[in-house]
Amino acid sequence: MSISTPRLPMTAAATTALLLLAGCGSDDGGSGAGDRLDVVAGFYPLEWAASRIGGDRIEVSSLTAPGAEPHDLELTPQDVAGVSDADLLVYLGGFQSAVDEAAESQAGDHAWDVAEAADLSLTAEEHEDEHADEAHGGESADPHFWLDPTRLADVGDALADQLADIDPDGADTYERNAAALREDLEALDAEMTDGLTGCAVDTLVTSHDAFGYLAARYGFEVVGVTGLSPSTEPSADQMAEITDLVAERGVTTVYTETLVDPAIAETVADEAGVRTAVLDPLEGLTDESAGDDYLAVMRANLATLQQGQTSS
């Protein structure tokens, strides 16, 4: 797998020009994928679920290139044109502001927000330099639902219904594929439940606050060195507080990530005299990922947690 080269962000003029050109000389509204539906996903877990459910009946792509950090995604004019032309945009509202804007301005009634199906029931505290959501008084909804496999299975079921509405002839295929996906995800969930029972340490100290749903599902408390966004930087007081917490709770491992600079988390680990290990939030795959798909990386995460939390 190769890392995509950086893409320049769109300008309003460039986007307008491209969309005008894209509308010339074609009235089929298609994607060039033959009879297959053109599905555009916001980022990797949604792309993976869509590919599993759609199978050969869809052509799926991700707006977030491999190796890119999805929180700070900027769309190119080509990306915006792809959203406009797609049969379905699958995205998570509130997670990627550029995708939210494209969904509203370009996707029309062929945009589907997975938030309701995912049941975003968790919130996380914002750090001082983050923009707080007034609805939660300094907290924001935690978007990282896919780290609970059962929630991703629920999204898969709902996505099958969305695809069947667009392509009724494929309804049986989508239903079967969603059932197969659910079976795989429930098997993974059972493995993680069994494998994480009896951990000696029940606090996860992670690079950013991405593991709330995993923690809630498998009986941990998560403490993010940074907040919901990995681009924010904690204050010196916050760093000292987390370092003290590591010592008080007998934490032996601070977890870094594949797409985020590990420097801040490594500083906490160094100050506390503990080790680091990579725990992947699965926001995207890279050459550094410990597997080639969602299931493989989640099983690698399980092995990492079993060692880092000193399971019995």
* CATH number of domain containing 79: 3.40.50.1980
Of 150, 171, 189, which one is at a domain's C-terminal end?
A: 189
Same domain, 202 and 169: no
Same domain, 41 and 97: yes
Whether residue 28 lies inside any domain: the answer is no
What are the tokens at 218?
């498998």
pLDDT at 132: 37
Model confidence at 19: pLDDT above 90? no
Same domain, 177 and 241: no
pLDDT tens digits for 212-225?
999 999 999 999 88
Same domain, 99 and 211: no
- Which of 296, 284, 290 is CA-nearest to residue 46? 284
Same domain, 138 and 218: no
pLDDT at 177: 98
Same domain, 128 and 219: no
| CB-based burial label for 32 (10 Å; 0-12, 13-18, 19+) | exposed
Q: How many structural domains is the chain composed of?
A: 2
Whether residue 285 lies inside any domain: the answer is yes
Over residues 195-216, mean pLDDT? 92
Of 189, 222, 256, which one is at a domain's C-terminal end?
A: 189
- Which of 63, 35, 42, 39 is CA-nearest to residue 52? 39
- Cα 126 to Cα 77, 120, 137, 267: the distances in Å are 32, 16, 9, 21
Q: Tell me the pLDDT band of 252, cut-offs 50, 70 and 90.
A: very high
Of 165, 189, 213, which one is at a domain's C-terminal end?
A: 189
Of 247 and 8, the structure prediction assigns the larger pLDDT to 247
Whether residue 174 lies inside any domain: the answer is yes
pLDDT tens digits for 45-54?
999 999 999 9
Q: State how far the Cα of 178 lies from the Cα of 227, in Å rounded to an integer.
A: 33
Whether residue 111 lies inside any domain: the answer is yes
pLDDT tens digits for 111-153?
999 999 999 999 876 544 443 343 333 568 899 999 999 999 9
Same domain, 244 and 272: yes
The domain of 269 spans 197-308
Model confidence at 31: pLDDT above 90? no
